[in-house]
Chain A
């Protein structure tokens, strides 16, 4: 993780309180759309917001759940399911969402994007 963190720049997007448990929000970081999810254990995950199957920026509006214990989000367009830990599509091994590191500082959420 240390290596990853040094290779990104951090942007503060919102107070942690804006995130509902097991629900997503979208953030615009530069021109990158990020979907951010707060899981039931309080951890936060960030993946790309653009659904690779439809091209629409809607991943943040999907339903959060799990498959076999792995946290997931389902695209609201055509319902493909993506793992929130690694961004991989569980219904199509060739497709994945980018993932982004997050950190919480002073009660605010930061998202890290590559330089």
Chain B
């Protein structure tokens, strides 16, 4: 077995070790990893989410079975003896050594930069220190909002500014270049970006930005800092964060005599090998053919190349893997740049469409003969990024102005050459996707599964859809054999025509008599549009058995019963009633994951008597049986908890009572946590709310189940009124447009533009339907009535709760129970009984 030592435990080092472990089936390598930070490897790209309440554990990358030494950095490399010495005195011999030391923040040599209150923005420890300083500043008595100065207006600087704002400070960004994000955007794009992030409205930041000036010095003035700028302006600040770029962490390599690049970094060839054949370098420390790359994607590609080489492969870095194209959402502003965005190619021409009213800027860079696309910049609306980026280096498919003008040419995927990369995250070409389609992948999920395209950032999913359609694959949205329409289309038909029966709908817009797919779907659509009790008239025949008996069918033909315990609250008297009912009817009881009590084993003919007692005691249906709101789980929040910052139970109860009974394409779950410790597990819910010092953060699209998903942040620091307005819009938009049995996570994924589009609709009301959605929700809230009370008050509805039409009170003879741990459980059907 040979010895591999990896210096550095960041994302790229971790990826190398993971790739090597995955492929080293013969156990050729014994791996030792040295990490400078005391923490296990974590997702540094998502670093800023740490201030939004994402925990260090959430950010941690999967553990790997290697010798990992944390907090013990390498201090020397003896290349002749091939061994590494660590700070803690370990001496590690190696056959191969990989340098993955990443980079260090560049801090300009400003007097006062080491004062308490000055920070860099690179590690979780940095963020802990910044959080603590911000909390101190916010807690200090005195008038005015606390402020921060961010040195550097690039990608990282704007991230830092957003994080500081989340921590309750007013950030001022100081950028030495004449524009923000000078690497990614040009002057025109930078000007618009600045205007958008300075605007105090909408989801934008309301940042203060100063470009073309530098910080000359920092001094302490009582309990604050004062930063003096090159134009003489003095800025007060409680916190100063340096985010003015990074430098390769190449000191160790220099000391070992390895060749370095002209502008720093360890020089490597296209195999990522340094000037020493036993030493490799990857990620931000590597100067590939002399150039360093500060993005994670090229670093991952380098890690894959070295893993392959260590196992005897012949992989090399390709130009496509060094693509620096980026699309990101910065402070609510869509920004993208690709190819030669700065038009450095000799003779390059620039075509610009700048619309300051709409807040969009688009530029294409084309070759001097106006035939080939070289690159571009998009600010404000980057939706064309997915179609344009793969065209770099290809002939222009249309007039360049038309490609970026509003209402201009929509690029078909047929304009792309086979070599064009559709998914840059996973380096999947149009040719590879065409092959997968030819081999039978006929849906986007199938393409994702067999090519990995669209599985990382997802920005190419619309293009995948286009490729499927262009290739002639029929992507049917028909609900079933009775309706050619999708669920969303049927919803609109019902809303537009006012049709209130399935018979009329199927005779006018469908065919046949329906089935177990379309009937419950139409029942849900009718219920969402206020068609009264779910058993009224013809609706009764549309409901599946759960909605027909308002209980959950279990495997032996009995049902379970769940009264609503809004927010998980229950009084001692309520508990006693539940206990008595369960005892008197011989029911098995269990606590659910949604903070309620489930009673199992009720026969159809018992349900009305059970519910009579529950309703008399003040309980109502919990809708555990419906494709509807289930529970809003909560922690105890400020009422009891020493750490809570808001009244999470109060909000959970209010939300559960607001949205109870709302019929939806699938079940809906929610949770409210009273602080960032997140005890209510809100981020595993369709909508989760986490308290902040300033209000509420709203997360959407989470679920447990077969494919667990963490909910993602939709909006932050909302007051309760705004939160409820956004939730009204979000839920009603989902109810109207999702497919049948589509949970919120896949629904959001299926929206063109994904979460960004949803945010535009909910927060910015980009479709102009906000008031309509809110009114629809108000109508639901106003018309809510307990379904079980509705049954108990109606003899005709009650008459259906019989075991046998000719023997209404005779129990189903197949249902038998035995005792397990002191409670009744079913005897398996079709098997001889083994107990009483």
Contacts and interface: CB of A to CB of B under 8 A. Distances in A.
Partners in one complex: yes
Given A26-B803, A55-B814, A63 B481 contact: no
Contacts of B803: 26, 28
A74 B516 contact: yes
Contacts of A65: 482, 512-516, 518-519
Interface string B529-564: 000000000101110111011000101110000000
B498 to A, nearest CB: 22
Contacts of A28: 803-804, 806-807, 810, 813
A64 B516 CA distance: 7
Contacts of A9: none
Nearest to B512: A66
Which DSSP category, helix, strand, loop or mixed, fits chain B's interface? loop
Nearest to A52: B830
A20 B514 contact: no
Contacts of B553: 58, 61, 76-77
B603 to A, nearest CB: 11
Contacts of B299: none
A31 B814 contact: no
Contact of B557 (A12, A57, A79): A57
B606 to A, nearest CB: 15
B834 interface: no
A104 interface: no
A57 B545 contact: no
Interface residues of B, number: 36
A63 B557 contact: no
A97 B814 CA distance: 17
B829 A40 contact: no
Nearest to B828: A55
Contacts of A31: 813
B520 interface: yes
Nearest to B518: A65
Interface in A42-64: 50, 54-58, 61-64
Contacts of A56: 555-557, 814, 829
Interface string B489-524: 000000000000000000000001111101110000
Contact of B515 (A11, A14, A36, A74): A74
A14 B829 CA distance: 28
Contacts of B519: 63, 65
A20 B814 contact: no
A68 B481 contact: yes
Nearest to A36: B805
Given A21-B541, A67-B481, A76-B544, A27 B515 contact: no
Interface string A1-39: 000000000011110001011110111110101001000
B541 A54 contact: no
B812 interface: yes
A28 B813 CA distance: 10
Contacts of B549: 61
Nearest to A111: B806
A33 to B, nearest CB: 8
Interface in B437-493: 481-482
Interface string B786-806: 000000000000010011111
B827 to A, nearest CB: 11
Interface in B54-112: none
A50 B814 contact: yes
Contact of B513 (A58, A66, A74): A66
A99 interface: no
Nearest to A66: B513
Interface string B234-274: 00000000000000000000000000000000000000000
B545 A62 contact: yes
9 contacts: A18-B799, A33-B814, A55-B830, A56-B814, A65-B514, A66-B482, A67-B515, A68-B512, A69-B512
**Across chains A and B, which 8 residue pairs bring their CB atoms closest together, nearest first?**
A55-B829, A65-B515, A56-B557, A74-B516, A76-B545, A63-B516, A55-B830, A25-B805
Interface of A: 11-14, 18, 20-23, 25-29, 31, 33, 36, 40, 50, 54-58, 61-69, 71-72, 74, 76-77, 79, 81
Given A56-B556, A67-B481, 8 more contacts: A18-B799, A20-B540, A25-B804, A54-B829, A55-B556, A57-B557, A63-B515, A65-B516
